[in-house]
Amino acid sequence: MRAAFVVGGLVVAGSLGAFAAIEAQKWPIASMLPGLVGGSNATTAAAPPETEIRPAAPRTVVSEVSSQASSEAQSTPATTGQAAQVAANTAPPQAATTGAPAAAPTSTAKGPAPIAMPKAAPLACNNPNALGIVRTVQIDTTEGPGFGLEHFRTHDFLNDHEVLLTFDDGPWLNNTEMVLKALADQCLRATFFPIGLHATYYPEILKQVAAAGNTIGSHTWSHKDLSKLSVDEAKNEIEMGASAVRMAVGGPTAPFFRFPALRHPPELLTYLGERNVAIFSADFDSFDFKMHRPEQVVKSVMDKLNKHHKGIILMHDFQKATAHALPEILAKLKANGYKVVHMVPRDQLQTLAQYDQAVLKTDKLPTLDQRPTSSVVRTISE
C-alpha cells in the first residue's frame, strides 16, 4: 500500500513538472516581468505620458470697475486679477503650475478693431443723504451678449437688492430733463436707449444726458417692431438709430441695443453679435407707458421689486408720468435698502458710414444757427 502511494506521488509530480516546462516555453518570464528584466523583449508599446487637458478660460463679460468706496463713479478698466468676475456667477479659473497655458477662446465676431470707451468724469455729489451708485460694472460686448432675465439668463450680474435703471424712447422735451434732475439729485447715473428720430428732434437734450455721465445705447430709428420687417429693413432701423444717436451726442456712445417691444428675431441677434453690440431686455418691465398717473408708476415698479428683490428695470423717459414718478421711486428704493448699479461699455460703438449718410439725408434744411431751442425761444408771459 505504501509503495503504491509513493509511485502515485511520483507520477503526479512528474506531470506537474512537464506542464510547467511547457508553459515556461509559451510565456518566457522576461515577457511577463519587463520591469525586472533589461533589454527590448517587451511586445507592447509603452503607454504615452499623461497630458493635462484643460478647457479654455471663460471670457469675462461683466467686470466691476468701481464701487461706492471709490472716489470716482467710474474708473479705468480693471486689470487682470483686479476685475471681479461675475459673468454667469463663475470664478476665474486657477492658473496651472505646470504645462502650457490654456489657449484664449477665439472670437467669430466681425468688424473693425475695438476702440476703448473714454471714462466719464467723476460724479460730483453734494447730497450726503443721496442714494448714490454702489458699484459700476463694465460690459464686454464682444459677440453680442444678452442681458435681462425676461429673455436672457446667461449673464445675471446683480446681487440681491441691486437695481439697474434703464430708460427708453427719449429724448423728449421736459420729460427727459426731469428724469435727469431726479437722477442728479440722488447722485445717480442710468442707461438710456434713445430712439434715433427723437435724437434728431432734441440733440441738445441728449447731449445733457451724455454730459451727466449716463450711458447711452440705442433703440432703433423709429421704434418699429423689427419682427415684422425684412432682415434688411430691420438692419436699416438698427443702424440708422445708432448713427442718429451718436451724431446727436456728438461723441462716443455705447454698443448697447434694446429691441422695441422686446421682440428679438434670431437672425437679428446674430447680426448684432457680428457687430459686437450687446442686447438688453429687462428683468421686469414697469409698463409705465400704459399709465397716466405717477402713483401708478411708483406702485408698478415697487410691487415688481418686492417680488423679484432686484433687477434691470425698464422705464421710459418719454413718459410724463414716469418723469414725475421717478423722485418717489428713488426715495422708496433707498428706504427699502436697494442699491443702484451703473454699467458702462468696455468699447465704444462704431457706426457704419452708409447709415451715417442716410441719417444726414433726413435732416431738415440746414441753417447757420445751431443753438438749442431753449436758447432761441423763451416764454416772456403766461
pLDDT tens for each residue of 3-12: 444 445 544 4
Show the DSSP H helices in 91-216 as ranges. Answer: 175-185, 196-201, 203-211
Poorest-pLDDT segment among 47-51, 64-68, 306-310, 375-379: 47-51
Cell of 40: 527590448
CA dihedral 205, 211, 216, 218 (to 10 degrees): 30
- What pLDDT sits at residue 152? 83
- 68 CB contacts (<8 Å, ≥6 apart)? 132, 133, 134, 135
pTM of the model: 0.72
Show the DSSP H helices in the chain as ranges. Answer: 2-26, 29-32, 175-185, 196-201, 203-211, 231-249, 266-274, 294-308, 320-335, 353-362, 373-376
Q: Per-residue pLDDT averaged across 303-308, rounded?
A: 95
CA separation for the pair 190, 176 (Å, rounded): 12
* Cα–chain center distance at 136: 13
Residue that is written with C-alpha cell 509530480 in the block? 13
Residue that is written with C-alpha cell 453679435 in the block? 273
CA separation for the pair 239, 302 (Å, rounded): 35
Domain borders along the chain are: 62-88+116-362
Poorest-pLDDT segment among 37-41, 81-85, 121-125, 143-147: 81-85
- What pLDDT sits at residue 67? 64
More confident residue, 82 or 125: 125
CA separation for the pair 228, 131 (Å, rounded): 41
* For residue 202, pLDDT beyond 90: yes
Q: Per-residue pLDDT averaged across 133-150, rounded?
A: 93
Task: Tell me the pLDDT tens digit for each residue of 168-195.
Answer: 999 999 999 999 999 999 999 999 999 9
* For residue 256, pLDDT beyond 90: yes
- What pLDDT sits at residue 82? 33
Task: Tell me the pLDDT tens digit for each residue of 319-376.
Answer: 999 999 999 999 999 999 999 999 999 999 999 999 999 999 987 645 667 677 778 8
More confident residue, 91 or 357: 357
- What pLDDT sits at residue 87? 32
Tally the C-alpha atoms within 13 A of residue 170's C-alpha that lie toward its C-beta: 37
Fold of 62-88+116-362: TIM Barrel (3.20.20)
CA separation for the pair 24, 331 (Å, rounded): 92
Chain mean pLDDT for the chain: 79
DSSP state of 189: -
More confident residue, 321 or 57: 321
For residue 94, count CB atoms less than 10 angstroms from its CB and return exposed for 0-12, middle for 13-18, buried for 19 or more. Answer: exposed
Ranked by mean pLDDT, the top range of 14-28, 32-46, 322-336, 362-376 is: 322-336
CA dist list (Å): 224 to 131, 220, 238, 315: 36, 7, 10, 18
Nearest-10 crossing angle of helices 320-335, 175-185: 10
More confident residue, 337 or 100: 337
CA separation for the pair 51, 99 (Å, rounded): 9
Q: Per-residue pLDDT averaged across 55-72, rounded?
A: 59
Residue 94: pLDDT band by 50, 70, 90 thresholds? Answer: very low
3-class secondary structure, 285: strand
Spatial CA neighbour of 324 closest among 149, 216, 174, 194: 174
- 238 CB contacts (<8 Å, ≥6 apart)? 218, 220, 221, 226, 257, 268, 271, 272
* For residue 17, pLDDT beyond 90: no
CA separation for the pair 256, 146 (Å, rounded): 10
- What pLDDT sits at residue 371? 75
